[in-house]
Amino acid sequence: MAGPAISFSDVNLTLGGVRILRDVSFKIESGELACVIGPNGGGKTSLIRSLLGQMPHSGNVRYEGDGAVQLGYVPQFLEIDRTLPLTVTNVMSVMVQRTPAFFGVKKKYLSLINAALDRTGFKGKRNRLFGGLSGGERQRVLFAQALMPEPNFLVLDEPTANMDEAGARRIEEVVLELNALGTTVLWINHDLAQVKRVASKVVVVDGGVPYCGPPSEMPPQIAETRAGVVV
């Protein structure tokens, strides 16, 4: 299931009188794993939200390719009140099933949920309250929901920011597995070592896009002054 190619052309975004994105143009090929890096406030999340159709941007964002786009999106966090009595399984079932989750989880969805959680290395704790999980555990659950159903286009907004090393490595393995099957990946990532390890393309976002290309060819002055990373 080949993922779509994504092209941004002349994308501009102004919010509250502040120009967030300026003439952003670049393309991610089908099946490519592209990492988005940039300083805080550089417009990375806004770029992704423009791609998802959630921002009043101008310019074009186009999906290219045959077949339907099956999007998997991992946001930075879920705004769930910590004290609400929602288990991990409750939260996951809300994502996939139409029957109200308080009636329980249907068998076919339960196996789907368990498979997705297993894949991210989330062992046990499925009946624990979501609010009682650590930041890293929550991110594993958030990542797992993006695997239901299996995506051919994966958009990740810092999915490993609060994770321990083992967790981050597990997520990386799953992303690489999906990418090997043809899934296009767009990944906001601040870990330059990981970016160099996994990405076929790096997109530096700092208002505009000063660099888009292979990580190995990124000019050091851009990495130091525009990408928000320490080389």
Does 90 bind another protein (CB under 8 A)? Our answer is: yes
CB contact at 8 A, 143 and 100: no
Q: Is 78 in the site for another protein (CB under 8 A)?
A: yes
First to last CA, the chain: 36
Q: What DSSP state is assigned to residue 3?
A: P
User: What's the full length of the chain, in residues?
Assistant: 231
The single residue among 46, 50, 93, 152 that binds another protein, judged by CB under 8 A, is 93
Find out whether the peptide bond into 149 is cis, omega within 30 degrees of 0. Answer: yes
Tell me how far, at minimum, the Cβ of 109 lies from another protein, in Å.
11
**Which residues in 121-160 contact another protein (CB under 8 A)?**
127, 129, 145, 155
Q: What's the half-sphere exposure (Cβ side, CA atoms, 13 Å) at 202?
A: 28
- State how far the alpha carbon of 91 is from the alpha carbons of 96, 110, 121, 126, 162, in Å: 9, 12, 17, 10, 20
Q: Is 111 in the site for another protein (CB under 8 A)?
A: no
Backbone angles phi, psi at 5, to 5 degrees: -90, 150
E strand or H helix at 6: strand 5-15
**Identity (one letter) of the amino acid at 69?**
V
- Identify the residue among 10, 14, 23, 54 touching another protein (CB under 8 A): 54
Q: Tell me: does residue 68 bind another protein (CB under 8 A).
A: no
Residue with smaller CB distance to another protein, 54 or 60: 54
Q: Does the footprint of another protein cover residue 228 (CB under 8 A)? A: no
The binder of another protein chosen from 39, 59, 65, 104 (CB under 8 A) = 104
By CB under 8 A, tell whether 69 contacts another protein.
no
By CB under 8 A, residue 84 contacts another protein: yes
Binding footprint of another protein on the chain (CB under 8 A)? 49, 52-54, 71, 73, 75, 77-81, 83-87, 90-91, 93-95, 97-104, 127, 129, 145, 155
